[in-house]
Amino acid sequence: MSTKQTVTLVDVARRASVSLATASRVLNGSMRTVGPEFRARVMDAAQELGYVANANAQAVARGASNVVGLTVHDIADPYFSAIAAGVMRVADEHGLVMLLGSTERSPEREVEYVSMLRAQRARALIIAGSRTSDRKRIDRLATEIAAFRGVGGRVACISQNRLRTDTVLPQNRAGARDLGRELAAMGHRRFAVLAGPRGLLTASDRLAGFRDGIRAADVVPEELHLIHGPFTRDGGYESALELLRDGPRVTCLFAVNDVMAVGAMAALREHGVAVPDQVSVAGFDDIATLRDLSPALTTVRLPLEDMGVRAARMTFVDEESDTPRVARVRGQVILRESTAAPPAT
């Protein structure tokens, strides 16, 4: 509570009439190696002075900070904020702080963030959502990641398996397959897929899985119309409009993520297309905020927050392993009101 500008360890030591080293030991050091008498004096002094160790100084002296970094595409996207919540929780349990970078889906910014985190000497880095198939970008990122490791940092990815890092891998393909199978089994034969941007692995995996699923149901689709567009609500909306305008008539629409599905449903509603009576709609992710839609959205549930937790554990609680580990997490199909058998012709 002092009014002094900046209380340092020397101040505390002086006030407690002990050496700098002793003060350091009781306040931060590796535990009980200080007599109770001194210990108490130091604690009191620190308390009275309102002392808080300068984390930066500690980081430089120790050679490692207590920050962990997380990069996401867009923190306002509920998919990523759920992951962030998971990482946050674990960081907190371990007395670490979380530095967040929102890349706005720009690969350059992603690389910049990794670099900033290296500058901060972050002890861990979690990269969520970078799944491009562009070779050059991957290499650039890989280089930066290597540098990050070079200064002692550990890294994990969520949804990215071409980077030779530990990774939490949602089974996008398997999940979409299960979904596709169910939908085909319901009787659908004419599909449209809002497939997201080209070159985004998460999107293409889900598309591929969906195809697999239809095939697995021994169904030959009469139609499987693809529409590419942004991975966002508006992307879904626009894509659906496009379908309505000049696409084929379909009975089932699969959007490769929930937010796109919501956009699509809005477009359908505006055009008086009934869901699921005229067309069934399904998404992917099971975003919590979207669970109360009406009609309730059929989707594939991913344990988002848990994925964040697992990635966090891999980077800063589990032992380091020499070979990259991958934690596969399975998606679970959740059939709700937005899907039903196709209308009788």
Partner DNA sequence: CTGTTAGCGCCTTCAG
Partner DNA sequence: CTGAAGGCGCTAACAG
Q: Which residues bind a copy of itself (CB under 8 A)?
A: 1, 3-6, 50, 52-57, 59-60, 65, 67, 74-76, 78, 81-82, 84-85, 88-89, 92, 97-102, 115-116, 118-121, 143, 147, 150-152, 233, 259, 262-263, 265-266, 269, 287-290, 292-294, 305
- Angle at alpha carbon of residue 141, lines to 140 and 146, rounded to 5°: 100
32 interface partner picked from DNA, a copy of itself, none, CB below 5 to 8 A per type: DNA
Residue 288, interface with DNA (CB under 7 A)?
no
- Residue 101-140 contact track with DNA, rule CB under 7 A, x = bound: ----------------------------------------
CA distance 141 to 136: 9
AA identity, residue 119 = A
* Residues near 125 by beta carbon (within 8 Å), at least 6 away in sequence: 68, 69, 70, 71, 114, 117, 145, 148, 153, 154, 155, 156, 315
Query: HSE (CB half, 13 Å, CA atoms) of 213?
Result: 27
73 interface partner picked from DNA, a copy of itself, none, CB below 5 to 8 A per type: none
AA identity, residue 92 = D
Residues 36-55 interacting with DNA (rule: CB under 7 A): 37-39, 51, 53-54
133 interface partner picked from DNA, a copy of itself, none, CB below 5 to 8 A per type: none
Of the two residues 2 and 133, which places its CB atom closer to a copy of itself in the complex? 2
CA distance 344 to 266: 24
Instruction: State the minimum distance, in angstroms, from the CB of residue 314 to DNA.
Output: 24
Residues 54-93 interacting with DNA (rule: CB under 7 A): 54, 57-58, 60-63
Asked whether 140 and 109 are in contact (CB, 8 A), the reply is no
Q: How far is Cα of residue 325 from the mean position of the Cα atoms in its chain?
A: 17
Residue 9, interface with DNA (CB under 7 A)?
yes
* Residue of 61, 123, 124 whose CA lies nearest to 53: 61
Of the two residues 105 and 177, which places its CB atom closer to a copy of itself in the complex? 105
Of the two residues 25 and 123, which places its CB atom closer to a copy of itself in the complex? 123
Task: Select the residue interacting with DNA from 15, 24, 120, 211 (CB under 7 A).
Answer: 24
Asked whether 155 and 118 are in contact (CB, 8 A), the reply is no
Instruction: State the minimum distance, in angstroms, from the CB of residue 15 to DNA.
Output: 12
